[in-house]
Amino acid sequence: ETGVTQSPTHLIKTRGQQVTLRCSSQSGHNTVSWYQQALGQGPQFIFQYYREEENGRGNFPPRFSGLQFPNYSSELNVNALELDDSALYLCASSLKGQAEAFFGQGTRLTVV
Amino acid sequence: GQSLEQPSEVTAVEGAIVQINCTYQTSGFYGLSWYQQHDGGAPTFLSYNALDGLEETGRFSSFLSRSDSYGYLLLQELQMKDSASYFCAVRHNTDKLIFGTGTRLQVFP
pLDDT of residue B1: 67
The answer to whether the Cβ–Cβ distance between A42 and B48 falls below 8 Å is no
The answer to whether the Cβ–Cβ distance between A33 and B45 falls below 8 Å is no
- pLDDT, mean of residues B75-82: 97
A5–chain B Cβ distance below 8 A for any pair = no
User: Over the stretch A60-94, which tens digit does the pLDDT of each residue have?
Assistant: 999 999 999 998 899 999 999 999 999 999 999 99
- pLDDT, mean of residues B19-38: 95
Does the pLDDT value for residue A4 go beyond 80? Answer: yes
List the single residue in A with minimal CA-CA distance to B102: A42
In this prediction, residue B27 has a pLDDT band, given cuts at 50, 70 and 90, of: confident
CB atoms within 10 A of CB A97: 9
- Which residues of chain A make contact with B91, given a CB cutoff of 8 A? 99
Does the pLDDT value for residue A11 go beyond 90? Answer: yes
A66–chain B Cβ distance below 8 A for any pair = no
Coil, helix or strand for B77? coil
pLDDT of residue A110: 98
Does the pLDDT value for residue A15 go beyond 70? Answer: yes
- pLDDT, mean of residues A35-64: 95
- Strands, E assignment, B1-109: 3-5, 9-13, 18-25, 29-37, 44-49, 53-57, 60-65, 70-75, 84-92, 97-99, 103-108
- Which residues of chain B make contact with A105, given a CB cutoff of 8 A? 41-42
Q: Which of A41, A98, A104 sits opposite B101 (nearest CB)?
A: A41
| A9 vs B40: CA distance, rounded Å | 11
pLDDT of residue A90: 98
In this prediction, residue A2 has a pLDDT band, given cuts at 50, 70 and 90, of: low
- pLDDT, mean of residues B17-29: 94
